[in-house]
Amino acid sequence: MTPDPPESIAVRLRVEGWTCLVVGGGRVGSRRARRLAAGGASVRVVDPDADPMLDDEDRVVVERRRYRSSDVEGVRLVVCATGVPEVDTEVAADAAQVGALVNDATAGRSGDLTFPVVGRVGAVTVAIDTGGESPAVARWLVARLDTDLGAPVAELIEIASEARHDLVATSGQTAHPQWETALDDAWAHLSEGRRVEARLALRRQLDL
């Protein structure tokens, strides 16, 4: 009997100051190069036909040539995004040899990490990953979250943050047995546009 594969875990990776390599400068590779650069990484993209728009990206250096095994030296994270299985497999194997983390953009279940679709609603960051089965569904879900929940979520965070600070001021701690009920009550009002009532309901449940 074949054992079930181990469950993956969700982590938030800080790449600031990292040297990263993206092999493949098409649509997917370009998107991942930009995300890494936005996180503070120094990114090198290797692809003879890399997207010209990458030339204008800060923290991204484009080398328009074919991949060489030596490209992985000194790199902490490698993205395989050529779309050619033989090449991506070679890149992943070379990266593993030097201990670099690997993201295989072609085979979502392979490699060490995936790039979830990320949405931000106020102070909340939402990451959705379908295990490589359907990135389109992940993007659709994030769009729905922003459209359907955006304003109420931002307001909920604001009034909950205020209440949290007041709890600390009055009791010296943020814990309260009624937090979940308080948030449920507040959300019921916010979803119908009643911000004042939401704030009062949340604070009442928290004895504020």
Structural domains for the chain: 19-115 (3.40.50.720), 121-205 (no CATH)
Q: Report the alpha-carbon distance of residue 69 to residue 105 in Å, rounded.
A: 18
Q: Note whether 82 and 111 are within 8 A (CB).
A: no
The pLDDT of 5-14, averaged and rounded, is: 74
Question: pLDDT-derived band of residue 105, with 50, 70 and 90 as boundaries?
Answer: confident
pLDDT computed for residue 119 by the predictor: 76
In this model, does residue 32 exceed pLDDT 70?
yes
Asked whether 19 and 44 are in contact (CB, 8 A), the reply is: yes
Q: Per-residue pLDDT averaged across 18-41, rounded?
A: 95
Does the pLDDT value for residue 131 go beyond 80?
A: no
Q: In what order do the strands lie in the sheet with 77-80?
A: 60-63, 42-46, 19-23, 77-80, 101-104
pTM of the model: 0.71
Of the pLDDT bands very low, low, confident and very high (cuts 50, 70, 90), residue 30 is: very high
pLDDT of residue 5: 56
Q: What is the pLDDT of residues 75-100, one digit of tens each?
A: 999 999 999 999 999 999 999 999 99
CA distance 163 to 157: 10
Per residue in 127-156, is it b (16+ CB within 10 Å) or e — as a string? Answer: ebbbebeebeebeeebeebeeebeebbebb
**Average pLDDT value for residue range 15-19:** 96
Supply the DSSP symbol for 60: E
Averaged pLDDT of the chain: 88
Beta partners for residue 21, in sequence order: 44, 78
Give the model confidence (pLDDT) of 173-182 as tens digits: 888 999 999 9
In this model, does residue 62 exceed pLDDT 90? yes
Q: pLDDT digit string (tens) for 135-157?
A: 778 788 877 776 767 678 888 98
CA-based max dimension of the chain: 65
Q: Give pairs for 115-121: CB < 8 Å, separation 24+.
A: 115/32, 115/35, 117/141, 117/142, 118/142, 119/143, 119/145, 119/146, 121/145, 121/146, 121/149, 121/150, 121/153, 121/154
Is pLDDT larger for residue 170 or for residue 21? 21
Comparison of pLDDT for 132 and 79, the residue scoring more: 79
